[in-house]
Amino acid sequence: MRAAVISDIHANLHALEAVLASIDDEAPDEIWCLGDVVGYGPRPNECADVVRERAGLSLVGNHDLAAIGKLDTSEFGPLAAESAHWTQRELGAAQADWLRGLELSAVRDGVELYHASARDPVWEYVLSEDVAHANMLVTRAPLVLVGHSHVALALAWDGAAIDGGLARGGTDLDVTGSRWLLNPGSVGQPRDGDPRAAWLLIDFEARRAGFRRVHYPIERTQAEMQAAGLPHDLATRLTRGV
């Protein structure tokens, strides 16, 4: 079985369409989404509809929860809060109902999936070896998938130490022999210095994980954000992948 893993789309339809075209070229058996379909970007309803149609498994993220009024935006930064309030106003009833039905975590054979982390599926960022180690201690599956940080990561735990780090586009890993924590990176708002949209292909029979990056028309998303009145800084940072 082969699964394509996507996360943190953030209402960036052009990035999502580019990723799905890349996924279709690989023809995996399933698509899994780790959450934050909306927030920050200008096309929340379209992205929700596409993910609902294409993904066999979808989780809810903190920005999704804010958009449906289930998470207080007081813990968001100013830009995130402004975009969350805009998304609340723009989100359609059908799309909101779909988001309300999603869970923060899921389990598949040999895999545990979380939006943020196993310890805190809403808020915790897995960006250090210490946090990754703590999460491996509270999980059991050979493979743990997380999103939320917008940083593509591959971290291996052999029962004693964590090894690994940033997973750049084109990284292909043999995931046998250790337990692994993987983050596919962000489709719609990467923050690892690479502005290309990110996704992850897992081949469970071959026990391999491949990190993919895809070009998309960033300027079109930026123009849509400007037209929608979303914060200027949210648009400009797409160019830098930060």
Give per-residue pLDDT as tens, 53-67: 999 999 999 999 999
Give per-residue pLDDT as tens, 178-221: 899 999 999 999 999 999 999 999 999 999 999 999 999 999 99
Give per-residue pLDDT as tens, 222-235: 999 999 999 999 99
* Mean pLDDT to the nearest integer, 76-81: 93
Q: Which domains does the chain have, with CATH numbers?
A: 2-239 (3.60.21.10)
* pLDDT at site 160: 87
Mapping DSSP to helix (H, G, I), strand (E, B) and coil, where does residue 84 land? helix
What value does the mean pLDDT of the chain take?
97
In terms of Cβ atoms closer than 10 Å to its own Cβ (0-12, 13-18, 19+), residue 27 is: exposed
Give per-residue pLDDT as tens, 136-173: 999 999 999 999 999 999 999 998 889 999 999 999 99
Strand boundaries in the chain, DSSP class E: 2-6, 30-33, 57-58, 105-108, 111-114, 143-145, 153-157, 162-166, 172-174, 179-183, 197-203, 208-214
> Could you tell me which of 101, 103, 94, 106 has the C-alpha nearest to residue 30?
106
Largest CA distance in the chain: 51
Q: Quick check: 75 pLDDT over 90?
A: no
* pLDDT at site 197: 98
* Mean pLDDT to the nearest integer, 59-83: 95
Q: How confident is the model at residue 177 (pLDDT cuts 50, 70, 90)?
A: confident
Q: How confident is the model at residue 131 (pLDDT cuts 50, 70, 90)?
A: very high
